[in-house]
Amino acid sequence: MQNSKKTKDELEQESQALRQKLFQLESILQEQKKIETRLKESEQKYRSVVEQANDGIAIVQDTIIKFTNPRLAVMVGADELINRSLADIVSFDRLPHHISENKPYKSLDGVTPTYEAALRHKDGKKIPVEFSAGVITYEGRPAELVVIRDITDRKNFQERLLEAQKLELVGRLTGGIAHDFNNFLMAIINYAVLVKKGLPMDSLAHDDINQIVMVGKRAAVLVRQLLLFSQRHIGEPCIINLNDLLSNLSKMLRHLIREDIELAILLQADYPFIKADSCHLEQVVINLVINARDAMPSGGKLEIETSNLTLRGGPGDGHKGLAAGHYLVLRVSDTGSGMDEGVKAHIFEPFFTTKKPGQGTGLGLSTVDNIVKQYGGIIEVASSCGKGTTFKIVLPAAEKIEAQDNRQQDSQALPTGSETIILVEDDSAVREVTTRILQKLGYNVLSTAHGEEALKAVRNYSDKIHLLLLDMVMPRLSGQEVARRILEIRPDIKVIFFSGYIDDTSLKAGHFIKGAAFLQKPFIDVVLAQKIRKVLDS
């Protein structure tokens, strides 16, 4: 009986152990189901991420594509990529060794290496891409997870940045040449004027000298355009007749466009005066004309028009951001290819261009926009594909009395004086001709060649010095530094800077000297005489 009862206990124990194992097995199976569920969810999420990725993704084994996401197919314009060689769609200068040799790559620092390559579109176009590949296991075998990113925008930006840097370098070179050239022109023009004033009224040489002066002034306009290109021209707002400016520019504009483009200039503004810098306005017109020309590769019509506009300040005026008042309107219209709304939204952004590489920097319209805003105006653009483009620029009109006063001032004889002026100019020809002009105007002149000499003259001169007239860009000491030191010695002295070229470090030097004025080289005797009296009498 004991053996039979013992057998029952043993059976009970075995049964209990079996139930425990079954329970453990059920727990393991449930855990496996949970893992499988999580794996499926993870796979679904992975596939969703891969399918929605902006980059092309592929799995490659033995250089053969085994899987791709939809984005990669779109990038190459192909419906089916599976079982094709990776080399069919991606070209490298040198194929990464771990792909060419089918050796999964593990970098020492765990960072997946990237390469620049070209993705071949089915139409033959090559797309610049950034390529990276990391090791994974696919269907039980080593494989490469390849990520291909389109870097076209990055490449375009790098090219534009490089172009801008080239322009900056050319601009600096241009500015340096303009500095020397302006000194030559100033000496030529003013010596010619001095010779003319020393001749009898009936001398036959008057006409010849007038030609020298006229050609010199035309050369000065050319240098001014070079300075605008290099963006080293200091704006001097004054009252400008826009109709006259366009008339003077018309010959240059005809050289800028082709013979198959008809140019019409309609000067319809009956009061065309605005307060601005003439060089800035010329740059606006030239940039818009070049833009219109490029929009008409097969020819067309380019129309430039001026008109007046009066705003009452009501909501019906239709010119957002402008207060009530009188305005001058400049329209530049072409019959070219036009723009869609997407392009119009970006045309004033720096470096944005629809032109081919090497044909445009994307800076022209951005410059126009900045200049117009600087003078309190607005630009409106009307354009549609195939129907041409019109740029409408609205600028505040100048007060009539101010324009009349400006014309009366131009007609007056040279103002003179007897004050003492210290002149600081490193170019000997400019220094000598400026000294002669000042002396003929009646001023007492202390002529110096550089800043240290000027400081010595100021310390040694016992009487009052009324005006400091100096070049802004000089060796040894800059004009700004010379002016600062002289003002410490003679705080009541007034200052006029002049220069034919302004670099970035001295561009706003005049703004750091209280009451300082500025003259752009080359200037003639009447401009110098008027500026001196204006500063001394203020």
State pLDDT tens for residues 35-51.
666 666 655 555 555 66
CATH fold match for the domains 56-150 and 237-408: no
Question: pLDDT, tens digit, for every residue of 406-464?
Answer: 433 443 478 999 999 999 999 899 999 999 999 999 999 999 999 999 999 999 999 99
Q: How far apart are CA 203 and CA 186, in angstroms?
A: 24
Contact status, residue 52 vs residue 125, Cβ threshold 8 Å? no
Higher pLDDT, 86 or 528: 528
Closest CA to 521 of 181, 261, 78, 265: 181
**69-78, 436-445, 475-484, range with greatest mean pLDDT:** 436-445
Strands (E) across 253-384 are located at: 261-267, 273-276, 300-311, 325-334, 378-383
Q: What does the alpha-carbon distance between residue 81 and residue 102 come to, in Å, rounded to a whole number? A: 19
CB contact set of 42 (below 8 Å; sequence gap of 6+): none
Q: Is 42 exposed, middle or buried (0-12, 13-18, 19+ CB in 10 A)?
A: exposed
| Of 329 and 12, the one with more pLDDT | 329
Give me the residue label for tokens 């869609």: 340
CA dist., res. 280 & res. 425, Å (int): 27
CB atoms within 10 A of CB 213: 17
Residues sharing a CB contact under 8 Å with residue 94, sequence separation 6 or more, in sequence order: none
For residues 477-488, average pLDDT: 90
Tell which residue, 514, 522, 475, 476, has the closest CA to residue 498: 522
Q: Of the given ranges (129-143, 339-353, 454-468, 480-494), which has the lowest mean pLDDT?
A: 339-353
Domain extents for the chain?
1-45, 56-150, 237-408, 409-536
Report the topology of domain 409-536.
Answer: Rossmann fold (3.40.50)
Lowest mean pLDDT among 93-107, 333-347, 387-401, 443-457: 93-107
What distance in Å separates the CA atoms of residue 11 and residue 3, rounded to the nearest whole number?
12
Tokens (6 digits) for 237: 């707002």
DSSP secondary-structure letter at 240? E
Q: Over 60: is that where the pLDDT of 115 sits?
A: yes
What token pair was written down for 363?
């800076």
Residues 6+ apart with CB under 8 A from 502: 175, 232, 233, 234, 472, 473
Percent above pLDDT 90 for the chain = 22
> What pLDDT score does 97 carry?
52
* One-letter amino acid for residue 185 of the chain: L
CA distance 522 to 216: 9
Which one-letter amino acid corresponds to residue 334?
D
Q: Domain 56-150, what architecture?
A: 2-Layer Sandwich (3.30)
Q: Which residue has the higher pLDDT, 21 or 236?
A: 21
| Stated pTM of the model | 0.50
Q: In this structure, are residues 329 and 309 in contact, taking their beta carbons and an 8 Å threshold?
A: yes
Read off the pLDDT band of 386 (50, 70, 90).
confident
Distance CA 276, CA 477 (A): 32
DSSP 95: -
Q: Which CATH architecture group holds 237-408?
A: 2-Layer Sandwich (3.30)
Residues whose CB falls within 8 Å of the CB of residue 32, separated by 6 or more in sequence, listed in order = none
